[in-house]
Every structure is written in structure tokens, then in C-alpha cells.
A and B are shown apart, each in its own frame.
Chain A
Amino acid sequence: MSLRSPRRDRATGGALRRHRGLALLLVLPALLLLGALVVYPIGYSVGRSLFDASGHRFVGLDNYGAAFTDHATLTAVRNNAIWVAVAPALVTAVGLVFAVLTEKIRWATAFKLLVFMPMAISFLAAGIIFRTVYDADPHRGVLNAAAVAVHDTFTDQPSYPGARPRPGTGLDQADGGDVRVPAATGTVLLPLVGVQPGAVPATARTARPADGDGVRGTVFLDFVPGGGGHPGQLDPGKKGLPGVKVQLHDGARTIATTTTADDGTFRFSAAPSATASVVLPAADFAAPYRGIDWLGPAFVTPAIIGAYTWIWAGFAMVIIAGGLANLPRETIEAARLDGAGEWQILRRITVPQLAPVLGVVFITMVINAMKIFDLVYVIAPGPVQQDADVLALRLYLVSFGGGNDQGLGSALSVLLLLLVVPVMLLNIRRFRGSRS
């Protein structure tokens, strides 16, 4: 073609003509398969999309109308729009950052190998991997385990998560969850229940009244193992709760803070007064932080896009790094000598020069995101599947996964095809351009 001049073609024309039979023999198997398996299905799908589920009744464009009115399909269309809007840009951006940053380190090859490897893994395996990563239970999902660890490092740990005053003992829990009781003379009793098994430390001793003057009292687990005892009273067998934070308030003001001893007792030096009250702050009873429900309806699509980025960022990185290596270094060096910052160089010089490569990566990812199926099907748990639905998954479910409506399924496949037609035309134009 472009490599051959017309003159040479003429010279070997005789030989080429003699081989016309062989040429047809070489291309025909491929062309027959392409015709039967790719070209014919396009025509068939267009035709089939005009008939109802049974395939006998002509319904015109009804299936396409259904695609845009049916609630489930609309969700799929909306999610697909999110995918196409977010995933390609994210993957390209991460790939660009990695490609630029790896230029500055010594272990670039190892890093690229590591990030590129997920490309070789099936979507199913990646899906299983991320189902476990995203598991909501912090004892199973590593992401929530990390979230909980970070959260607990930066916030005070509740000593007795889930504990509450024993009902019917006159102890109130305010709206904020603080337990508040007037600072009376004598031992103030704070009977709690709902303490998780195992939360009471081994050092806890049997609860007893507090000694001394001033405001004092006992925080205890109002429960006798094996039964017995009276609600709200210090009976034998009831354990004091050590380490509970106790505040003394005067009105709304905190005037003193202490924690309970091993037998649950606490003591303030201040004398009881009419305006004072003993408060157990809510933070000590808060339910423990459990992380984020990644695969719940709200986060499922972003979570799957995260898994998608894990798979494809390496591809983007390698292609962009290839483009980066071919860039002329002079402009960048000149800019650097002129005192341009790294960020400025990246934004004003590198990215514009890389535009063609970035475009290729971006378009590849767009086509990919349009057809996304496996990851969504594998990662989204059953009850959340409809919240994470995308066109290709809808197509599968409608035609094969129980929907049994190949009319609507064909309409969806035609829609998918229409979505990639611009890229198809672009490819053809690029190909024609490269020939001339």
C-alpha cells in the first residue's frame, strides 16, 4: 500500500494475478467467520429489536421506548453515564501521575510491573478480590479494617460501647447520649446494662459504695450472673465498671473530670450542690465505628470504579510512559532553566505534548466503560445489583438471566453498538488518513 509504488505493482502484477485464487483461499475462512459471527448479528439484532419478547409480533420502536422508560433500564443508563464520565478520566489521570512520577525514581521497573499486573487478571478474579476488600465487616474487609484502625487512632475509644442506663432506675440518657444524674449527697448510683461481653476488664471488682466526702458514686454493671438482685441497687455479685469517664457539671459547665476505679467508684473534691450533676459523656458508650458500607446502594458504583481503576491504571501508565519517553526533552529542560515549577511544566508542556497519547488512552477507556459487565456482575452483591446495574449487565439479565425478552435485549445491544459508532468512524478515518 503506502510502501509500494504503483510501478512495482505493475511489475509483479502478473504474479499477483496468478495468485488470486490462493489469496481468496487465505482470506475466505476469516471473512466467512466475520460475516456469520459479527456482521450478520448486527443486522439480526436491528431486526430482532423491532419484535416483542416472543419474536412473533412486530412492535416497531417499542423496545427502544421501553429502554428509556423502564425504571431498571433507566438506572442502567444513568450508571453507564456515570461510568463513562468518571472512569476513563480517573484511569487516565492516575496513569499520567504514575507515568510522570516513575520517571523520578530508581525502582520504576518494579513499580510498573506491579501496577500493570492486574491487566492480566480476569475481571472475575479481580471481582472476587474486591468483594473481599470492600467487605463491610471490618473483620473481613481490609479497607474497612484500615478505616476503623485510622478512625480509632484519632478518636477516643468508647470504654463500654453500646452500654446504657438500666431502664426503670430513674437514670436518663439525654438526647446527645450523655447519662446525667443530680449530684446528691452520699453515693450516686449509676447502674448500666448493655455492656458487651468481654468489655468488662478482668481487673473489675465487685461494686461497692464510694467513700469520702464531696460528690461521689459508683458506676456498675447492674447484672448478677446467674440472676437475682434488685434493679439499680448494689447487690453482691454486681461488678463495678473501671475506667469510665465521669464529669462533674455545674449547670452546663464541666468543672471536674475523673475516671472510675476497679470497683466502679469515683470521687470529686467538690461538695454537692443544687445545680451540680454527674455526667457520663456519650462518647464512652458510642457504638464502635464500623467503617463504610462500600457495597451498599450509595457507594457501590464508585467502589466498582475503584476496582476498575486498579485494573486499568497500569495500562494507561505504560502507554503514557511510552509517549513520555518519546517527548523532546529540550523544551522541558529549557522551561526548568527558566525557573518553571514541576507542576507548571506538567500542565503547560508535558500534558499538551502528550495530548494524542492521552486521547488514545481516554477513548480506549471510554469504549471499555461503555461495555463494562463482569466487574459489576461479580462485585455488586445480589440485593444491590439493581443499584449498580449497567447497560451490558441489563442486556445479559434481560436476554439470558431470567428476563427472557430478547426483543428488549436486542434493542439494548443496538444501543451499545450505536454508542461505539463514533469511535468506529474515527478508527476508519484514522486508518484512511494513515494510508494516504
Chain B
Amino acid sequence: MTTTQPAPPTRTTTPAGTAKRPAPAGRPGVPLTTRLAVLTRHSLVQAVLIVAAVAWLVPTVGLLISSLRPKQLTATGGWWTALTRPAQLTLQNYTALLGGGDVPKALWNTVLISVPATLLTVALAATAGYAFAWMRFPGRDGVFVAVVGLLVVPVQVGLIPVAKLEGAVGLFGTIPGVVLFHVGYGLPFAVFLMRNHFLEIPAELLEAARVDGCGEWRIFRTLALPLAAPAVASLCIFQFLWVWNDMLVALIFAGNDSQPLTVYLQSQMRQFGSNMDILAPGAFLSLLVPVAVFLCFQRFFVQGAMAGSVK
């Protein structure tokens, strides 16, 4: 999220923000009407963006406040009434939700699904990506083109066949079953990303290591992998968020004992309105981790999003 706002070379006493084009506005001798027009346009831009910022902020703030209101109040008025009467806010929904029952288990299941699914995908993609980039084996280029082709295959295509497949080997309805599906459908993009990043390593560097008698596995572990660390980080974040946020795959492949938070909350949607004390704090809990990851690792996240735009 590093925005490029190059400081203009001639920054005079222009009104805030016209910095990008100070010439017409700030230079003395420019007709007052022109300066006024620039000023008006500038305030218009500010106004539009403030309205947009509010529109983007309000829904999430509404969820947060809703999650902090006791159940009996949700029937009497919207969450915005808490803005003037903050005394109604309480943590009781959260303590009730985390105190026992289904939510802590579902939250734990979410962790048990997303962490292995991320680590496995990244590990398999890193090794395969390195081989595709710097090693030789029969059919390498043809197979990689096929991987590129698989980038856009919708997960929906796999639902029925993989459910049958996992049913045959007893994985259907278990956490490893959900993990396996996520690994399969995370791999095309992951391999693609890793291979492209490994290719950016200068060939001379790898060759020097080979000449020094380094084994290929050691080169991969001690040279290539550290150099591709930013890509690995992007991939980890992307895959983790993808799996953490998934509902569709878990809806089908997880059983009652292995359902993650998204599936549990979805099952509560039928009584929407009467159980905001579960849905609002539950949804907020489920978005807390991704948003924290996002805020801590924005840079990698944006890089991942950019790279993922081919997906």
C-alpha cells in the first residue's frame, strides 16, 4: 500500500492537495476565477472521497457496534442509537459466545484447516516452482503451460468429483479432507507464482553455487528460498486468507465436528434478526484475524493481489 505521491518540485503556498498541479493555482497573475475554479474542484474531490470513506467505513463499524449491544436492544432500535447512548455497549455477547459451545470449537477448526492448508500449499508450490524454474525433467514446459491453464478452473468443478473421491477413501467430512481440497485448488496459482519468482534469481548466482559443489537441494534451501522470501510471504498470506475466509468448500467437505466458523455462522443465518447476538460478534471474530493479518502485512498482501490478478 505504498502510494506514490512524488513531492512536486515547485511546492508554493498552494491550498492543500493541489500540490500535484500547483502551476495554474498558485502562480500570481492567474485570474481569480481560475483559482476559484481549482479550489472548488478540489473541495469537490475531497467531498466525494469523504462520502466514499464514510460509505466504506459505516458497514463494518455497524457490525462492531451491533456485536456489542445486548440482544434485547436489537429489537428496539438500530446500532446507531449506541452512538448517543454508549452505556448500552457490553462485552456480554462475546463472553457468552467464547465461554463454551460451538463457537470456540468452530474457531479452532478454522485454525486447524487454514494453517496446514497454507503450509502444505506453500511447501509443495515452492519445491515444484523451483523445479519448474531451474531444473530439467521431461515435459517440463508442456506441464507448466497446463498449470497456467488450470489457474482459472473454478472450485465448483471439483466439488462433486472430489467429494466422491474423498468419500471412497474416508476423508469426506474430516478436517484433512477440507485441507486436501484447498491445497489442490491453491496449487496452480501457488506454483505459478513461485516459479515466476524463482526465475527472477540471476542464473549466475545459482551457477556459482553449483560450481562450488553445492547440491541442488542445498541451493534450493539455502539460496533460492531465502531470495524468494517476499513471494513466499505473499503466498502464505494470500492462501491463509483464502482458506480462512472460505465457506463453500467447508460447507460441503466439513462434517459437523470439523466445521469452521464460516459454516457455523452460515447455519445461524436462518434465524437472521433474532440472533444478532451470535451473528454479529461471530462475524466480527471471523474478520478480526484476516484484518489483523492485512494490517500487519499490507505490503505483501498488495503484492499478492497484484500477482493474483491473473487468477
Seen from chain A, the residues whose Cβ lies within 8 Å of a Cβ on chain B are: 1, 3-4, 8, 12-13, 15-17, 19-20, 22-24, 26-27, 29-31, 33-34, 36-42, 44-45, 48, 98, 101-106, 108-109, 111-125, 128-133, 135, 138-142, 145, 310, 315, 318-319, 321-322, 325, 336, 342, 360-361, 364, 367, 370-371, 373-374, 377-378, 381-382, 392, 395-396, 399-400, 406, 409-410, 412-414, 416-417, 420, 423-424, 427-428, 430-432
Contacts and interface: CB of A to CB of B under 8 A. Distances in A.
User: Which 5 pairs across A and B sit closest by C-beta, in order of nearness?
Assistant: A37-B184, A122-B245, A41-B161, A120-B294, A30-B128
Given A15-B210, A45-B157, A420-B152, A118 B56 contact: yes
Given A310-B59, A409-B160, A27 B131 contact: yes
10 contacts: A19-B136, A22-B216, A30-B125, A34-B150, A103-B20, A106-B16, A109-B3, A117-B56, A124-B266, A128-B265
Contacts of A42: 153, 157
Contacts of A4: 203
B92 interface: no
A382 B63 CA distance: 21
A336 B20 CA distance: 12
Contact of B128 (A27, A45, A131): A27
Contacts of A318: 1, 302, 305-306
Interface size class of B (residues with CB under 8 A): 35 or more
Contacts of A124: 245, 247, 262, 265-266, 283, 286
A365 B132 CA distance: 29
Contacts of A416: 154, 156-157
Contacts of B180: 33, 37
Nearest to A47: B161
A27 B1 contact: no
A331 to B, nearest CB: 14
B139 to A, nearest CB: 10
Contact of B56 (A114, A140, A364): A114
A43 to B, nearest CB: 8
A33 B161 contact: no
Interface string B21-51: 1001000000000000000011001101100
Q: Give the one of B18, B191, B241, B245 with max A CB within 10 A.
A: B245
Contacts of B286: 122, 124-125
Contacts of B301: 119-120
B128 A29 contact: yes
A129 B79 CA distance: 12
B1 A113 contact: yes
Nearest to A324: B4
B286 to A, nearest CB: 5
A400 B159 contact: yes
B199 A3 contact: yes
B11 interface: no
Interface stretch (B93-101, B141-149, B228-236): B141-149
Dominant SS at the B interface? helix
Nearest to B131: A26
Contacts of B244: 122
A12 B207 CA distance: 8
Nearest to A20: B137
A325 B157 contact: no
Contacts of A381: 272
Contact of A22 (B21, B135, B158, B294): B135
Contacts of A410: 160
B80 A145 contact: yes
A104 to B, nearest CB: 5
Q: Give the one of B57, B124, B183 with max A CB within 10 A.
A: B124
Interface string B166-197: 00000000000000110111011001000000
Contacts of A123: 245, 247
Contacts of A120: 241, 287, 290-291, 293-294, 301
B127 to A, nearest CB: 4
A122 B156 contact: no
B248 A396 contact: yes
Interface string B237-255: 0000100111110011000
A108 to B, nearest CB: 5
Given A29-B124, A30-B187, A104 B210 contact: no
Q: Give the one of B19, B187, B241, B283 with max A CB within 10 A.
A: B283
Interface in B92-131: 124-125, 127-128, 130-131
Nearest to B63: A129
